[in-house]
Amino acid sequence: MKAYLAGPDVFLPNALQNAAAKIAICAKYGITGRAPLNEEIEQLAALPEDEAWRVIYLKDIEMMQECDIIIANLTPFRGASADSGTLIELGWFLGQNKPVFGYSNSAEPFAARSHRHVAAIADPIPGLAVEGFGLADNLMIAGAVTYGGGLPLTLPADGITRAFDALDIFETCAATAAEKLQIKPPGF
C-alpha cells in the first residue's frame, strides 16, 4: 500500500529529515510512504520559473497516480486553514475514489482561528460570517476526510496543539489508516 504524504512539509527547513521520519513511521504500519519532495532542486533552479513549476506539478501528479491512499497534513498553514496545494491533492484523491486520511497538529477549532484571521484583515467586511460547527477546519475538508477514508480528521486527543512539524499525530493517523485498511505491519 503506497501513501502519498501530502502537506506543506516540503517548505520546512528540514524537509528531507521530516519526510524520512514520516516514511519510517509508515513502514512500521506496512505502508510505503511517498513524499513529494523536489530533491533535484539544483536542476529545478536552473529552469525558467514557468517551466519549473510545471515540472513539479507533473511529477507530483505522477506520484499521486502511483499511490493508493493519501495521508495529508492539514495543520493550518499560512492562515486559518490547511494549505491550499494540499487541499487540491486531497480533492484529486477523492476524485480518483482513493482513500483519504488526514491529520492536524492543531487542537484549536476552525472558528476560533478564523475569527482571529478575520479580525486581522486590514479592511474587514462588516458582518462577515465565520463557519462554525465545532470542526477542526472548513466543513468540506472535514467531510472529505470523514467520507473519503471512513475516519474523522486525526487531531491531538489531549487537546494540546503541537508544533507544525511534530510527528505523533501523523503516526496516530498512519496507524489508524493501516487498521482501517487492514494493512498488516511487517513481521505480523
Domain with residue 51: its CATH number is 3.40.50.450
- Residue 48: give the domain boundaries: 2-180
Averaged pLDDT for residues 8-24: 96
On whether residue 7 sits in a domain, the answer given is yes
Q: Tell me which residue of 140, 33, 27, 32 sits closest to 94, measured CA to CA.
A: 140
Q: For residue 120, is pLDDT > 90?
A: no
On whether residue 167 sits in a domain, the answer given is yes
Q: For residue 182, is pLDDT > 70?
A: yes
- Listed in order, strand segments (DSSP E) in the chain are 2-6, 32-34, 69-73, 100-103
Q: Dump pLDDT digits (tens) for 36-52.
A: 997 777 888 899 999 99
Phi/psi-derived region of residue 31, left when phi > 0, alpha when psi is between -120 and 50, beta in every other case: beta
Q: For residue 17, is pLDDT > 90?
A: yes
Q: Tell me which residue of 115, 5, 18 sits closest to 60, measured CA to CA.
A: 5
- Residue 114's pLDDT is 86
Q: Dump pLDDT digits (tens) for 47-67.
A: 999 999 999 999 999 999 999
Grid coordinates in use for 160?
494540546
Chain center to CA of 127? 31
On whether residue 187 sits in a domain, the answer given is no
Grid coordinates in use for 127?
458582518
For residue 73, list its beta bridge partners.
103
- Residue 27's pLDDT is 98
Q: For residue 187, is pLDDT > 90?
A: no
Q: For residue 98, is pLDDT > 70?
A: yes
On whether residue 62 sits in a domain, the answer given is yes
Confidence of residue 28 (pLDDT cuts 50, 70, 90): very high
**Whole-Å CA distances, 106 to 21, 23, 93, 113:** 20, 22, 23, 10
CB atoms within 10 A of CB 174: 27
- Residue 170's pLDDT is 98
On whether residue 175 sits in a domain, the answer given is yes
19-28, 107-116, 119-128, 154-163, range with the lowest pLDDT:
119-128
On whether residue 185 sits in a domain, the answer given is no
CB atoms within 10 A of CB 147: 11
Q: Which amino acid belongs to residue 160? A: I
Q: Which residue has the higher pLDDT, 115 or 8?
A: 8
* Tally of domains in the chain: 1
On whether residue 66 sits in a domain, the answer given is yes
On whether residue 186 sits in a domain, the answer given is no
Confidence of residue 122 (pLDDT cuts 50, 70, 90): low
